[in-house]
Chain A
Amino acid sequence: MDRRSIPRLLAIAAPILLLTVFLLYPVASVIVDGLLYGPGSSFAETLASSVTQRVLGFTFAQAALSTLLVIGIGLPGAFMMARLRMRGKSILRATLIVPFVLPPIVVVVGFLRVFGSFGLLDTLAMYILGTSESVLNLATGVVGIVLAHTFYNIPLVIVMVSSSLERLNPELEESAEALGATSFQKLRHIILPHISGALLAASILTFLFCFMSFPIVLALGEGRYMTLEVRIWYAFRSFDFGEASSLAAIQIATTLALAHSYVRLGRVEDVDPGRTAAIRRYGLDEIGIGYKVMVLVYLVVVGTLIFGPILAIIQAAIYDPFGGNYTLAGFANLIESGTGGGLVPLVNSLLYATLATLLAVLLGIPLAFAHRSRRSGIPTMASAMTLLPLGVSAITVAYGLMRMIAVPLGLTTNPWLLIVIAQTIIGLPFSARAIEISLRGIDPEIIEQADSLGASRLQRLFFVEFPLLAPGILAGGVFAFAMAIGEMSATLFIALEQNTTLAVVIYQYLGVRKFVEAGAAALVLVATCFAAFILIEKLSGEMSGGAL
């Protein structure tokens, strides 16, 4: 082997090795252990149980339904986002991504306040109908679960598809029009083929997230509707490790198949893509009255669905439901150190998420390069490793990490490092993919020029490739940060009192009815992520959605 290629191989092998140790090994060993030695039900018994079958059916059905709804509602939004010229678009786009990074528990609270019985919508309906009986409860059962999933994932479709649409080369549209194509023909033969990759990728990702859904189903499912993940949690708590492992194995097989197709779609090269934001745009004054009305109706519906819960969180941060007055006590709590204060969780959140982001980017860069490696097997292994975190539930990851890594090494007395590792793993798919997409956009001629000008490998990396990758690294970093700071399930499982983060403490505050404190903490999370997304838009001039 060429001696100079050893460092490069090491750089590429490092993330794969680390993921094997901190993800593959712990998860695989706890599942195999549970399947082989239990205690509890065997794989066959688990499959034969009618409850398992119903849960499996419901998990698929609700995920499919949610995905359809997300596409149906999200697609027009994606077109509007790409086609319309309007002011404040970057702010709108940053706001749109906020739901995606909210901790689920916050989503649940905001959602109940808007769509639950005696929530905002219900109160409005009661006022219109002049009744004091609740008339509208969209926040429980199947309706609640599907709507909450829609709220959560619409941003994916809007942002990913509009990002692809904006790259539609205007020349194509013009040629089609010159040849006399109708709008429908244009849509059918030019636009749909152009966005199909992004649309499918967004659908798969949405399906994946709904399939893995846990806190939303737990909170809105009335103890009746369960996803596989909820069932795993129940089995795990009843010490039925056999059933938990069997269900987790089914879950991983399903999600990995989906995740695999997601990555393959990301690889499909665009045919003659336009530059960023190349698509023809229209001002609001240039479109017909019919379209204007449609845009308006759409904005009201989606606005309620997406901004309603966010506004409810803002209100919850300053309104004390017991005293019936407005207060800043929630924010005061966030700078209070000591027991029960919010300062420690705030600092922890920022510290862990920053460290996890650094790690996710540091590991994401070589992983992205590994995707491009010409050595056979490496790209497949790299993409499998990148995707695994999307397909394994956070709780399984946390449990595996605790049992197989932390306990033998004695890390459990102060498990902060473990939380950082778990958060890194959860953010890695996003950072690696963003960097890989941006790597794909580098013109190979530039690299060849650098080589022929005698740049060393390191110089080429630092002065040519990194500057070109900067927008991707930034976007990936921000997504990893958002995923990390919003992470609750794994952190909840691992953390001791000194390690609690904002996402965890929100859950705790809600449990002891400190609603204002919970609202303020949630608002800080929302604001942090919002600021980070605005930052990507401003710094890179790129849209953050391209990274997904």
Chain B
Amino acid sequence: MLYNFDIKVVQTTTEYPVRMDPRITITAIVIVLTLGVAGIVFISLPPPSERPTLMVYTYDSFMVWGDNPDTIDSRAFGEFEERFNVNVSIQRLQTDAKGIITRLGVESANPVADVVVGIDNILILEPEVTDLLTPFEPPNLNVVNQSFIDALDPDHYVTPYDFGLVTLIYNKTSMSPTTYPQLLNLTFENLTDPTFAGALVTETPHLSSPGLAFLLTEITVYEKLLFENWTQWWIDVNEYIDVESGWSEAWEAWYYNPTKHILNSYGTDPAYSVYFYGGEPDTGIAAIYHDGEYYAWMQVEGMGLVKNGPNPELGKLFIEYCLNETVQSLIATNNWMFPVRSHVTLDPAFVHALHPTEVSLLNELLPRAEIAANINDWLDTFDEIRTP
């Protein structure tokens, strides 16, 4: 009975608007959405190309520190594109070389990249890294001094691209050698003084390759030159030292914070400052001093051929090409490292850089096998000291 009554109510309200079948509306919405989305996606995709594309994975700041970073790729690699009729896609992944390796590892079942640039002489010691690469010896390797090949990788999984000296630098205006003569012959012992330790900024060895180089510098100096336990220095400076998450963060802390004067960085920094701002460099170099000699850690960055990459032949040609004059002569003022090719003319500003001839290389004191065997333990010990 009640049911019938309800029906009657409906029928009496005849002005009630007639509703469309929602299925039509749904279909219309779905079609419009699909077309819209497809359209936007289509527009946003890179235009298809006739030429094959060579994919190069590298770190975020690769060659972007020059006068005109927007055109550097075409200046450096345009000639290669023309000669072999390919596109070179330089993928600056927003991470460092170690992060790139992680990505290559993820993609190893179906690799996307052909070449990876930026694996340094510490990272290459990880077996996970060599697993992802195919050894390759470019025919023009003789333009590279054998010492770089030995320092980086005698097995040729990676070919040297550039190198730099990791060292401490200081701000000349805020901490001058006249008041602090220790800067001219700086030792780790000096750095335990709270005045120096509190002024020092470095990078965490977990996330930054210069940070790791600094840790190895400290370990080498204590274990191989002073024959003391390396851990004590970190315990001494623990409460004073500023360890940032990356080089950019460390640089910023050093640049903006007036209490920070010393930075773990590269020996080319004074040249950078002169090249861009002229005059005398505002940064000085304080290479670690021991018994009449100066020491620094040499970082060699290499290029490797990705195992099972889509275009192995092009990848090989690319590695070979990167050792030529065009690319190598751009390294100094765009990546602020030294070219590995011999006899490349450097910008005059480089007279202010720390040159390998001026220091003894700590790498030569710490054999590759020893680093490979101990690096994880060293990092664990470092964490034990640092973690409160």
Q: What residues make up the interface of A, taking CB atoms closer than 8 Å to B?
A: 39, 49-51, 54-55, 58, 116-118, 134, 218-219, 222-226, 234, 236-240, 338-341, 347-348, 351, 355, 358, 399, 402-403, 407-408, 410, 412-414, 416, 452-454, 458-459, 461-463, 492-493, 495-498, 500, 504, 507-508, 510-513
Chain B residue contacts of A225, Cβ below 8 A: 387-388
Per CB-CB distance, the 5 closest pairs between chain A and chain B, nearest first, are A223-B243, A223-B204, A462-B22, A239-B128, A511-B248
With an 8 A cutoff between CB atoms, is B249 at the interface?
A: yes
Given contacts A117-B257, A408-B110, contact A222 B44 (CB under 8 A): no
Residue picked from A224, A347, A408, A498, most chain B C-beta under 10 Å: A224
Q: Does B82 contact A (CB under 8 A)?
A: no
Chain A residues near B19: list those with CB within 8 A.
459, 463
Residue of B10, B245, B246, B258 with most partner-chain A CB within 10 A: B245
7 CB contacts below 8 A, A to B, read: A54-B388, A237-B206, A238-B376, A355-B37, A462-B22, A493-B103, A508-B94
Write out the residue numbers on chain A whose beta carbons fall within 8 Å of the beta carbon of B103: 402, 493
| Docked-complex contact B383 and A51, CB < 8 angstroms | yes
B153 to chain A, nearest CB (A): 18
B102 at the A/B interface (Cβ < 8 Å)?
A: yes
Are A55 and B259 in touch, CB under 8 angstroms?
no
Starting from the known contacts A118-B256, A462-B25, 18 additional A-B residue pairs (CB-CB under 8 Å) come to A51-B383, A117-B257, A223-B204, A234-B207, A236-B102, A238-B206, A340-B69, A358-B37, A403-B106, A407-B106, A407-B110, A416-B44, A462-B22, A495-B94, A507-B94, A508-B94, A512-B60, A512-B248
Q: How far is the CA of A223 from the CA of B212 in the complex (A)?
A: 13
Mostly, the A contact residues are: helix
Is B70 positioned at the interface, with any CB of A under 8 Å from its CB? yes
Residue of B nearest to A234 (CB): B206
Question: A60 CB to closest chain B CB, in angstroms?
Answer: 14
Q: Decide yes or no whether B145 CB sits under 8 A from chain A.
A: no
Task: Say yes or no: A410-B249 contact (C-beta < 8 A), given A134-B258, A223-B386, A416-B41.
Answer: no
Residue of B nearest to A140 (CB): B242
Closest B residue to A401 by beta carbon equals B106
Q: Which residues of chain B come closer than 8 Å to A497, judged between CB atoms? A: 89-92
With A and B bound together, what is the CA distance between A512 and B41 in angstroms? 30
On chain A, the residues within 8 Å of B95 by CB distance are: 492
In the assembled complex, the Cα of A54 lies from the Cα of B106 at a distance in Å of 30
Choose among B44, B259, B384 the residue that contacts A117 (Cβ–Cβ < 8 A). B259
A46 shortest CB reach to chain B, Å: 12
Q: Report Cα–Cα, A225/B386, bound state, in Å.
A: 9
Q: How far is the CB of A366 from chain B (nearest CB, A)?
A: 14
Distance A223 CA – B215 CA, assembled complex (angstroms): 13
Tell me the smallest distance from the CB of A137 to a CB of chain B, in Å.
9
One digit per residue, 1 when the CB lies within 8 angstroms of any chain A CB and 0 when it does not, for chain B 372-387 equals 0000100110011011
Nearest Cβ on chain A to B380's Cβ, whole angstroms: 7
Q: How big is chain B's contact interface, by range? A: 35 or more
Residues in A whose Cβ lies below 8 Å from that of B256: 118
**Which residues on A sit within 8 Å (CB–CB) of B1?**
none
Q: Whole-angstrom distance between the alpha carbons of A441 and B37 in the complex?
A: 33
Contacts of B369 in A (CB 8 A): none
User: What is the CA–CA distance of A222 and B23 in the complex, to the nearest angstrom?
Assistant: 58
Chain A residues contacting B257 (CB-CB under 8 Å) are 116-118, 134
User: In the complex, what residues of A have CB within 8 A of residue B379's CB?
Assistant: 238
Q: Is the CB of B70 within 8 A of A511?
A: no
Bound-complex Cα distance A340 to B23 (A): 46
**What separation, in Å, do the CA atoms of A504 and B45 have in the docked complex?**
19
Report the separation of the CA atoms of residues A39 and B128 in the bound assembly, to the nearest whole angstrom: 10
A498 touches B46 (CB 8 A): yes
Partner of B33, one of A118, A236, A358: A358
- State A493–B33 Cα separation when bound (angstroms): 28
Whole-angstrom CA separation of A510 from B387 in the bound complex: 27
Q: Which of A39, A338, A507 contacts B70 (CB 8 A)?
A: A338
- Min CB distance, B24 to chain A, in Å? 11
Q: Taking the nearest CB of chain B, how far is it from the CB of A467, in angstroms? A: 12
Docked Cα-Cα span, A463 to B98, in Å, equals 55
Q: How far apart are the CA atoms of A416 and B64 in the complex, in Å?
A: 25
Q: Which residues of B contact A116 (CB under 8 A)?
A: 257
Residue B107 interfacial (CB < 8 Å): yes
Min C-beta distance of A57 to chain B, whole Å: 10
- Contact indicator B387/A51 (Cβ below 8 Å): yes
B70–A340 touching, CB < 8 Å: yes
Is there contact, CB below 8 Å, between B70 and A339? yes
Q: Do A412 and B387 contact each other (CB < 8 Å), given the known contacts A238-B379, A461-B22, A498-B46?
A: no
Cross-chain contact A414 with B45 (CB below 8 angstroms): yes
A219-B249 CB under 8 A given contacts A51-B387, A351-B41, A459-B19: yes
Of B10, B65, B107, B388, the contact of A512 (CB 8 Å cutoff): B65
Query: From residue A132, how far is it (CB to closest CB) to chain B in Å?
Result: 8
Q: How far is the CB of B296 from chain A (nearest CB, A)?
A: 22
- Residues 243-277 of chain B, each 1 if its beta carbon lies under 8 Å from chain A, else 0: 11110110010001111000000000000000000
Please give, as numbers and ranges, the residues of chain B lying within 8 Å of A239 by CB-CB distance: 105, 126, 128
Is the beta-carbon distance between A347 and B387 smaller than 8 angstroms? Answer: no
User: Are A134 and B107 closer than 8 Å at their CB atoms?
Assistant: no
Contact with A along B8-50 (1 / 0, CB 8 A): 0010000000010111011000000100010011001110000
Would you call B99 an interface residue if the criterion is a C-beta within 8 Å of the partner chain's C-beta atoms? yes
Nearest CB of chain B from residue A170's CB, rounded to whole Å: 36
Chain B residues with CB under 8 Å of A340's CB are 69-70
Cβ B33 vs Cβ A458 within 8 A: no
- Residues B50-100 near A (CB distance < 8 A): 60-61, 64-65, 69-71, 73, 89-95, 98-99
User: Do A50 and B106 have beta carbons less than 8 Å apart?
Assistant: no
> Judging by beta carbons under 8 Å apart, are A496 and B91 in contact?
yes
